[in-house]
Amino acid sequence: MKKEQEKKPSSSSAESSYKSSNLPRTEINQASQRSFILNPKSYNLADIVVSLNGRDAGKRFVVIGTDKIYSLIADGKGRRYEKPKRKKNKHLKYESVADSYITEKLEKGEKITNNEIRRFLASYAEIVRKEDIVDNIDEGGM
* CB burial of residue 140 (10 Å; 0-12, 13-18, 19+): exposed
pLDDT in tens, the chain (142 residues): 555 555 554 444 444 444 444 544 444 444 444 333 333 478 888 999 999 999 999 999 999 999 889 999 999 999 999 999 999 999 999 998 877 788 899 889 888 999 999 999 999 999 888 888 887 787 766 5
In this prediction, residue 50 carries a pLDDT of: 95
In this prediction, residue 129 carries a pLDDT of: 87
Q: Give whole-number Cα distances, 12 to 15, 17, 18, 120, in Å.
A: 5, 9, 10, 53
Complete domains list, the chain, with CATH: 47-138 (2.30.30)
Tell me how far apart the alpha carbons of residues 18 and 109 are, in angstroms, rounded to a whole number.
Answer: 49
The distance from CA 67 to its chain's CA centroid, rounded to whole angstroms, is 13
In this prediction, residue 56 carries a pLDDT of: 94
pTM of the model: 0.66
Asked if 134 and 140 touch (Cβ cutoff 8 Å), the reply is no
What are 14-37's pLDDT values in tens digits? 444 444 445 444 444 444 443 333
